């Protein structure tokens, strides 16, 4: 008889939601986490009275009623709406691409039809869509591509837009209305008391161990529980037997400033290639905080090497093929359940991760668990 029903490796959204639902189903869980804190990349920390998003801006958004009501059990969300600004060589534009962007970019564009005509006149050279550059020009025309997409994307991914898959840019909304909301979802907000509090509430009463890497003593951990829920990198789990998957990493540079309002908005994207960071976030604006002083974080894209943080999977054909081989191995391992963005090698927003944790819980504990 093992001490736990589930050993959960990783305390991000996937691991924490699964642990919460398993406990609700009467199962005994242990969550182990290699970092010193809960919450994965959504972790937040209070500094100088300001809630800081330690691993980059995390804005919660969903259209899924179940996800929204579930997450609200663990803490109240405010009504923050993300309306980022793009800065290009001293010019500022609204994001996502909408009528405010178009009318500022083109002085002769005011109506949606004028914007559509302008874009159509700028996409003439594009006859097929095989890469991000062709996709972007076809969606928004050459001017927006050159000023707001090319430099940002090439910094972000460390390669040319002609070598990137088209789907990356399709994550962004494109609208022919005057609306700067970055997301299309029904619900959006930031936890009023920070994400960390949400995780602490979700894991209340559940055994947790921090600074504990599963691979430091795999055999010991496996012997503790009947099943393992693994939310780390899938290639590491299988000892890189099919080779290493590639990621893009980031470096965050935080500064405490002796001024009250540095940029007037939570997120400013720097879209020219010459500036080495992609965005600056000013944390106090996420919670409408009027305190003295401010904290900003610059986000620098970084080449990923073994040992650095794997933030974004590189879902090109080569890496997807390697991942499929690992996924096949994973499916033959009935006592290990793989979940989350690293085990699935896919970029997921928080709400989608919660949905996948719900699905796994339903498979394990029946359809009524959530
Ligand atoms: P993670 O949060 O990465 O958690 C996995 C955990 O497992 C980590 O804590 C890790 O330390 C731990 N772990 C890994 N290996 C081991 C091991 N061997 N032993 C022990 N522990 C281990 N989503 C949104 O919805 N809105 C946003 O605005 C948003 N912004 C983002 C901005 C950035 C810069 C990034 C990188 C992501 C953003 N996301 C956003 C996505 C969001 O971070 C993810 O959806 C979410 O964190 C995924 O949860 P997860 O549990 O799968 O993974
Ligand atoms: N993007 C861009 N300019 C911007 C913002 C985004 O070209 O000002 C592109 C870029 O290729 C990026 C993709 O759109 O990788 C998706 O942007 P999103 O904001 O969703 O990126 P994330 O916040 O997930 O890093």
Give the residue whose CA is nearest to atom 9 of ligand 1: 40
Distance of alpha carbon 343 from alpha carbon 231, whole angstroms: 5
DSSP-assigned letters across all residues of 224-283: HEEEEEE-S-HHHHTTTTT-PPPEEEEEEEEEEESSS-SSSSSEEEE-STTSS-SEEEEG
Give me ligand 1 centre to Cα 270, in Å: 24
Distance of alpha carbon 23 from alpha carbon 5, whole angstroms: 10
The residues facing 187 across adjacent strands are: 62
The single-letter DSSP state of residue 180 is: -
Q: Is 212 helix (H, G, I), strand (E, B) or coil?
A: coil
DSSP H helical segments within the chain, as ranges? 13-24, 65-72, 99-105, 112-122, 132-144, 150-157, 195-202, 218-224, 234-237, 317-331, 350-365
CA distances to 30, 107, 120, 177 from 112, in Å: 55, 13, 12, 7
Q: Which active-site residues does the annotation give?
A: 171, 175, 248, 279, 299, 347, 349
**How many Cα atoms within 13 Å fall on the side-chain side of residue 289?**
25
Give me ligand 1 centre to Cα 16, in Å: 11
Q: Classify residue 129 by burial, with Cβ atoms within 10 Å: 0-12, 13-18, 19+.
A: middle
Task: Name residues contacting ligand 1 (CB within 6 A).
Answer: 9-15, 32-35, 40-42, 55-60, 213-215, 231-232, 250, 311, 340-342, 348-351, 353
Ligand nearest to the CA of 94: 2
Give me ligand 1 centre to Cα 156, in Å: 18
In this predicted structure, what is the pLDDT of residue 307?
86
Distance of alpha carbon 145 from alpha carbon 167, whole angstroms: 15
Distance of alpha carbon 133 from alpha carbon 364, whole angstroms: 43
Distance of alpha carbon 86 from alpha carbon 101, whole angstroms: 10
The three-point CA angle 150-156-160 to 5° equals 50
Q: Give me the architecture of the 4-80+186-245+314-369 domain, per CATH.
A: 3-Layer(aba) Sandwich (3.40)
Query: What residues contact 352, with CB distance under 8 A and at least 6 apart?
Result: none
Task: Name residues contacting ligand 2 (CB within 6 A).
Answer: 86, 95, 148-149, 152-153, 156, 168-169, 171-172, 269, 271
- Report how far Cα 286 is from the mean position of its chain's Cα atoms: 16
Could you list the pLDDT tens digit for every one of the 370 residues in the chain? Answer: 899 999 999 999 999 999 999 999 999 999 999 999 999 999 999 999 999 999 999 999 999 999 999 999 999 999 999 999 999 999 999 999 999 999 999 999 999 999 999 999 999 788 889 999 999 999 999 999 999 999 999 999 999 999 999 999 988 899 999 999 999 999 999 999 999 999 999 999 999 999 999 999 999 999 999 999 999 999 999 999 999 999 999 999 999 999 999 999 999 999 999 999 999 999 999 999 999 999 999 999 999 998 899 999 998 899 999 999 999 999 999 999 999 999 999 999 999 999 999 999 999 999 999 9
- Report how far Cα 95 is from the mean position of its chain's Cα atoms: 18
Map out the domains of the chain as residue ranges: 4-80+186-245+314-369, 85-169
The residues facing 269 across adjacent strands are: 86, 279
φ/ψ bin of 307: left (φ > 0), alpha (ψ from -120 to 50), beta (otherwise): left
In this predicted structure, what is the pLDDT of residue 48?
97
Assigned token pair, 98: 């909408």
Give me ligand 2 centre to Cα 172, in Å: 7
Nearest atom in ligand 2 to the alpha carbon of residue 161 is 11
Give me ligand 1 centre to Cα 197, in Å: 16
Distance of alpha carbon 280 from alpha carbon 134, whole angstroms: 28
Nearest atom in ligand 2 to the alpha carbon of residue 149 is 7
Q: Is 296 helix (H, G, I), strand (E, B) or coil?
A: strand
């Amino acid at each position: 008889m093992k001490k736990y029903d589930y050993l959960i490796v990783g305390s991000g959204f996937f691991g924490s939601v699964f642990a919460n639902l398993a406990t609700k189903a009467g199962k005994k869980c242990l969550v182990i986490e290699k970092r010193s804190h809960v919450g994965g990349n959504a972790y937040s920390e209070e500094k100088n009275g300001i809630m800081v998003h330690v691993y980059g801006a995390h804005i919660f958004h969903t259209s899924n009623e179940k996800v929204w009501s579930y997450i609200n059990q663990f803490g109240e969300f405010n009504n923050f709406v993300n309306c980022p600004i793009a800065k290009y060589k001293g010019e500022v534009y609204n994001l996502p691409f909408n009528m405010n962007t178009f009318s500022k970019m083109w002085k002769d564009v005011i109506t949606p039809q004028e914007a559509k005509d302008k874009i159509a006149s700028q996409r003439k050279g594009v006859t097929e869509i095989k890469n991000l550059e062709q996709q972007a020009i076809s969606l928004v025309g050459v001017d927006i591509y050159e000023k707001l997409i090319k430099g940002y994307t090439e910094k972000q991914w460390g390669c040319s837009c002609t070598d990137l898959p088209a789907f990356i840019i399709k994550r962004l909304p494109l609208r022919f209305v005057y609306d700067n909301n970055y997301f299309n979802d029904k619900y959006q907000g930031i936890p009023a008391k920070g994400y960390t509090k949400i995780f602490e509430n979700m894991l209340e009463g559940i055994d947790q161990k921090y600074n504990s890497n599963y691979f430091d003593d795999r055999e010991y951990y496996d012997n503790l529980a009947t099943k393992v829920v693994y939310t780390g990198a899938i290639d590491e789990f299988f000892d890189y037997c099919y080779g290493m998957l590639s990621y893009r990493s980031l470096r965050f540079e935080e500064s405490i400033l002796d001024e009250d309002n540095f940029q007037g908005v939570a997120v400013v994207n720097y879209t020219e290639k010459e500036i080495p960071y992609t965005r600056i976030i000013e944390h106090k604006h996420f919670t409408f905080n009027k305190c003295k002083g401010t904290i900003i974080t610059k986000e620098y894209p970084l080449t990923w090497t073994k040992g650095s943080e794997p933030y974004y999977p590189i879902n090109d054909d080569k890496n997807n093929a390697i991942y499929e081989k690992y996924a096949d191995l994973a499916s033959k391992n009935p006592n290990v359940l793989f979940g989350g963005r690293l085990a699935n090698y896919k970029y997921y927003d928080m709400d989608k991760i919660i949905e996948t944790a719900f699905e796994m819980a339903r498979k394990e504990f029946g359809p009524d668990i959530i």
